[in-house]
Structure 1
């Protein structure tokens, strides 16, 4: 069984708490008890709203993804390293769990380029909200390209590329599903901004300049 890992980058320790503020970025790194609630029903992952990163996924977003009331939903942090973080929502009973949603925050130019290429190629893509930076919304996929304080930095002027992605992995996609993905990503972006000081409008300008450069 995969297990949740603790936050590894000191500069983003405050991301674990949605109530953190820019004035108090040096919050205590969450403990194992904060990161996961162990269940005894044999299902992989933790109960909804118990994970430090998975907390951004609302129950209604899970229900919209599966098309009905989710069966024993569980949330699992599948990435927590120097390249970013990702949470998958699992649905189904013992031995039948499958991922239905994934929320990611990735760091670096390579991740940004890959996410942008994928977002621009998606069917039905349209521009997303500016608070996500250069963003794209398509059925079942929401992507935001922004800039935030670099890992390990102490000056918020030292920015790095951050890519935010919320996507449905299985089931039918409708407007409600995509709206919930967008709301989920908005919550993650707000907390990221409070913790690290992001510059979504600057990211839009930077990406536009990169696109038009010879």
Structure 2
């Protein structure tokens, strides 16, 4: 793959701010790891309501389908916050019984691309996903989009690095739930394209070149 290896990527807080600007109409302060992990007044981890960041690309319908029924409580919790990855879990359940039902993630770099691809290709029932997600895969309860977006540390709009976008259901994995996972990944990809610039076509072309190379 003709891209330079990512060494220092944008922070997760910065990524959250970028995505928040796409959903709220303007930049909002991004939550820090500590703020994202606070316990609410009802004793539940995570935050409720529209915070203007990535978890909100997961629709209430997606949560209901993945859970198997409409949950009494839904919370959003940042579970990974590093230089090159950002992961949000959608939690359901009461106090002391919370568990993730959907996970939505963005990982940057060639290693993340390779890992996400290997997992997607090894999933049962996997099929090619839509072109607008780049090199993409859809299997029951798992949607993966491998695209190329601008390196956040570069001033050159043409300097793109691999991004792996993944949505997974830990509950129900039927067609309806999977369709809404695909929508969540699509909305995330759209937000990234609007904010930093992405090229799913480039991802497909470079992947094809790498596959056919001797």
In the other structure, the counterpart of 1:207 is 207
Q: Deviations over 1:103-158 (max 9, x none)?
A: 00100000100100111111111111111101000000000000000121122101
Matched-pair contact (CA < 8 Å) for 2:17–2:30: no
Q: Does 1:175 align with 2:193?
A: no
Q: Secondary structure at the match of 2:73?
A: coil
Q: Secondary structure at the match of 1:101?
A: strand
Q: Deviations over 1:143-183 (max 9, x none)?
A: 000000012112210101000000012x2321000001001
Matched-pair contact (CA < 8 Å) for 1:103–1:167: yes
Matched-pair contact (CA < 8 Å) for 1:7–1:29: no
Q: Which runs of 5+ in 2 are unaligned?
A: 1-10
For residue 70 of structure 1, report the CA deviation from its aligned partner. Answer: 1.2
The within-5 A match list for 1:3-82 is 7-9=12-14, 13-19=17-23, 28=27, 30-32=29-31, 39-50=40-51, 52-82=53-83
TM-score, structure 1 normalization: 0.86
Q: Which runs of 5+ in 1 are unaligned?
A: 1-5, 22-26
Q: Secondary structure at the match of 1:17?
A: helix
Aligned length: 201
For residue 49 of structure 1, report the CA deviation from its aligned partner. Answer: 2.6
Distance 1:162 1:20, change over 3 A: farther
Q: Does 1:192 align with 2:192?
A: yes
TM-score, structure 2 normalization: 0.86
For residue 39 of structure 1, report the CA deviation from its aligned partner. Answer: 2.5
